[in-house]
Chains A and B, each alone.
Chain A
């Protein structure tokens, strides 16, 4: 520990002297801060809450651990490779911008770098992962000025870019998960001739085959890497709500809107395009999106009223896109669309709340 400290201090000295190397200062600072924390003291108030952005983001990652571990079990060690690629290439973009801007490296990327792999199909080639994460971080976040100023969720920007740019890679060939023994913990990936299948939403829409709720809940279905182990996502989401890292309003309203909308359909309108409520809830990326992406504080509305409104719209949009568009899944499109409208929703809510009396 001490020799790391001394080492970092020496590096600080070297960077100070060399004009070229000094540009790498943000990297060293980030390392230094992550390892040793801060020596700054408060002015007023004299005490500070122990939460900081590092802990904040770490807590989100902890909440994703069950789903991530399960995804390795289901899809093989290749998932680890995907995660590493995502962190490395996304991190490079982050570091490059920090160096150019002469700013500190921000921790928001820790979550983006993990969520992005979780919303990819398991068979995504590694180079596609790299392209997607670079695009997402660059155009979803950095062009707006970095963490805190971005309008879009960078992971979703990357994912949608891939869907549009490489439709074939992204939508064909959904593997079925390992289900026996140690599964994916011992294999790099499922063999090529392993059973492939459409995702449960597509199965229902195109072949009217319903996957059982138990299979959906425990991950015995095709789907994106991190979205199928839904029981883990629910546990993680509830954990985040309990720790107050995410606002309970968003997942609660989002999920109940989906349930009510789809439920009302089965009772009153009987439109066969709209899947039943329980199936909507437990299929596709809804749980992952509702707990981990719609709740991103930067890109969702910051007013409480705005959060209610946005989540209701999210629910409606998700069901509409799933049922009536050419796509089988609608969660990511809905979140991206609501990202665009968040500032507007906030403005309207603020104008109503603070209208002149």
Chain B
């Protein structure tokens, strides 16, 4: 059922960034070598089932751990295990299996027991397929199955929120992901998830500007009374689970914990597509669609790549070489720097963004008309010209100055805290209960306060420092946030975040 459009306070619309990825897809050749990290998505590091010299095929499970919260990991090509080594991967130290290809076959072996008539399968079989495919590790806390793939079990899920918003400066193309048959598959995926989590009410949040897509959704969901569709204003960070839960469900969020802890599963389109591919087609999750966005790519397109392909292979050739570039994973606001391009792609990749590493000093920058300058204020021409295109770079665009209390950080903050107030307290080392009162633990680290600050103050970093100092004084998150919530799967969450 179509519900009324939803809004949330704060946030910022990143509009008209240049070099969005075109809604077309290039299939990459199967790589000659892959490096498969043994921790992908929401999972602990799983134990390898193969050893050096073993022959493996594309889709074979090469690592799994049924005792802990985890999802299996597959080989993505046919080949021979060359090595199992430790790598520094996305801020974690993990083991990775290096596989050398023995042939360039595109074939992927299917999971046993999948069926296009999935309605005839038992719940257990469906859950097994989701688990075995690895799709269960997608989403911020995994997809619950009876195989310990998430911190809660499927019966504990009261709500399932699926978001198709795309409120970042650069987003993977919704049109591409939901083209033709994919849209039907997407809906099958939702129905499958509904069968897996029978108690969960399903909420679908869609970018309010995509009227056509909403129309199609409404059509397809006509018979489904358990599904609600919400047009959602595409303000960043609309896709954050903290924002979705509070905006769509009007529930309080245990900030710093997971939505799953209060029985809410939050998934994106790719996770749902992964589920339908696993159950209907029996496909293990060893291919990923990745958008190449940003002005530093020669071409902006989508790639279908095998998990484990090194970034070098997909990024290097396509990067402009005239000036230094910064390559970022998934988000210009919160994403990790991909400095080491020898690292592989894993399941969690959806956008790779490259922007100029701009250390150039601009002559009389503060007087420039700014025809492609993005700003929360309207002090540049770009905000006066409708349709002006914004071009991002990594320059700070201004010197650090003392806070003038302009209040922009408070206005864009999506969780209603006053960042500059917290930052000043932390800077003056006034660390006490007051900070908790002012909501320091509500911060979801979206980075908007840093973005808008005209004085270029690192508000987010100050807030995080304040949280650490508070914890040292005994006022840690558990003590301040947990009372007032009955959280499920807390131990399970800790077992993963600790590692």
| Majority DSSP secondary structure for residues of A touching B | loop
User: Chain A residues near B397 (CB, 8 Å)?
Assistant: 37-38, 48-52
Inter-chain contact A148/B363, CB cutoff 8 Å: no
Please tell me if the beta carbons of A146 and B402 are within 8 angstroms of each other in the complex: yes
Tally of B interface residues using CB under 8 Å: 65
Q: In the complex, which residue of chain B has the Cβ closest to the Cβ of A351?
A: B437
Partner-contacting stretch, out of B98-106, B150-158, B344-352, B453-461:
B453-461
Interface string of B188-203 (1 = CB under 8 A from A): 0000000000000000
Q: Does chain A have a CB within 8 A of B376?
A: yes
What is the minimal beta-carbon distance from A107 to any residue of chain B, in angstroms? Answer: 7
Residues of A with C-beta under 8 A to B406: 56, 297
Q: Determine how close the nearest CB of chain A comes to the CB of B382; give it in whole angstroms.
A: 8
Q: Does B31 contact A (CB under 8 A)?
A: no
Once bound together, how far apart are the Cα atoms of A1 and B420, in whole Å? 37
Complex CA–CA separation, A38 to B379 (angstroms):
19
Which residue from B169, B337, B365, B453 sits with its C-beta under 8 Å from A47?
B169
B407 pairs with A46, CB closer than 8 A? no
Compute how far the CA of A334 lies from the CA of B438 in the bound complex, rounded to whole angstroms.
30
Contact yes or no, A38 B396, CB < 8 A? yes
Which residues of chain B in 315-334 are interfacial with respect to chain A, using CB atoms and an 8 Å cutoff?
326, 328, 332-334
B406-419 vs A, Cβ < 8 Å mask (1 yes, 0 no): 11101000000010
Complex partner residue of B451 from A48, A55, A106, A298, CB under 8 angstroms: A48
With contacts A41-B395, A45-B450, A47-B451 taken as known, whether A1 is within 8 angstroms of B402 at the C-beta atoms is no
In the bound assembly, the distance between CA atoms of A108 and B453 in angstroms comes to 16
Q: Quick one: given A104-B399, A297-B407, A302-B421, are A244 and B378 in contact (CB under 8 Å)? A: yes
Q: Are A49 and B404 in contact (CB under 8 A)?
A: no
A163 within 8 A of B: no
A50–chain B nearest beta-carbon distance, Å: 4
**CB-CB contacts below 8 Å: A222-260 with B:** 242-245, 247
Point out the residues of chain B lying under 8 angstroms from A107, CB to CB: 401
- B402 near A45: Cβ-Cβ < 8 Å: no
Contact at A50–B363, with CB atoms within 8 Å? no
User: B403 in the interface, Cβ–Cβ < 8 Å?
Assistant: yes
Q: A13 to B451: give the CA distance in the assembly, Å.
A: 34
Q: Is the interface of B mostly helix, strand, loop or mixed?
A: loop
Please report the C-alpha to C-alpha distance between residue A39 and residue B356 in the assembled complex, in whole angstroms. 13
Q: Which residues of B contact A53 (CB under 8 A)?
A: 398-399, 401, 404, 454-455
Query: Given A41-B358, A50-B373, is A58 in contact with B396 using a C-beta cutoff of 8 Å?
Result: no
Inter-chain contacts of A36 with B (CB < 8 A):
361-363, 365
B394 at the interface (CB under 8 A from A): yes
Interface size class of A (residues with CB under 8 A): 35 or more
Within 8 A of B (CB), among A53-83: 53-56, 58-59
Q: What 0/1 pattern do residues 288 to 315 of A give for CB contact below 8 A with B?
A: 0000000001100011100000000000
Q: What CA separation (Å) do A52 and B367 show in the bound complex?
A: 11
A52 and B456 contacting across the interface, CB-CB below 8 Å = yes
A46 touching B328 by the CB < 8 A rule?
yes
Partner of A49, one of B328, B337, B376, B405: B376
A182 to B448 alpha-carbon distance, docked (Å): 49
**Is the Cβ of A302 less than 8 Å from the Cβ of B363?**
no
Please judge, given known A-B contacts A243-B377, A245-B379, A302-B421, whether A108 and B366 are in contact too, CB under 8 Å: no
Q: Enumerate chain A residues within 8 angstroms of B421, measured Cβ to Cβ.
A: 302, 350
- Cα–Cα distance between A104 and B437 once the two chains are bound (Å): 34
| Contact call B438/A37, Cβ cutoff below 8 A | no
A41, closest chain B residue (CB): B394
Please tell me if the beta carbons of A51 and B398 are within 8 angstroms of each other in the complex. yes
User: In the bound complex, do residue A108 and residue B404 qualify as a contact, i.e. CB atoms below 8 Å apart?
Assistant: yes
A47-B332, A53-B401, A148-B401 known; A42 vs B378 contact (CB < 8 Å)? no
CA–CA, A110 and B376, complex, Å: 22
B437 touching A149, Cβ below 8 Å: no
**A171-B20 Cα distance, complex, nearest whole Å:** 62
Whether a CB of chain A sits under 8 angstroms from the CB of B364 is: yes
8 contacts between A and B (CB under 8 A): A36-B361, A51-B375, A51-B379, A52-B456, A56-B454, A146-B402, A302-B420, A356-B437
* 15 further contact pairs, Cβ within 8 A, besides A52-B399, A104-B399, A146-B402: A33-B399, A38-B395, A38-B399, A44-B450, A49-B397, A49-B453, A50-B374, A50-B380, A51-B398, A147-B402, A148-B401, A243-B378, A244-B377, A302-B407, A303-B418
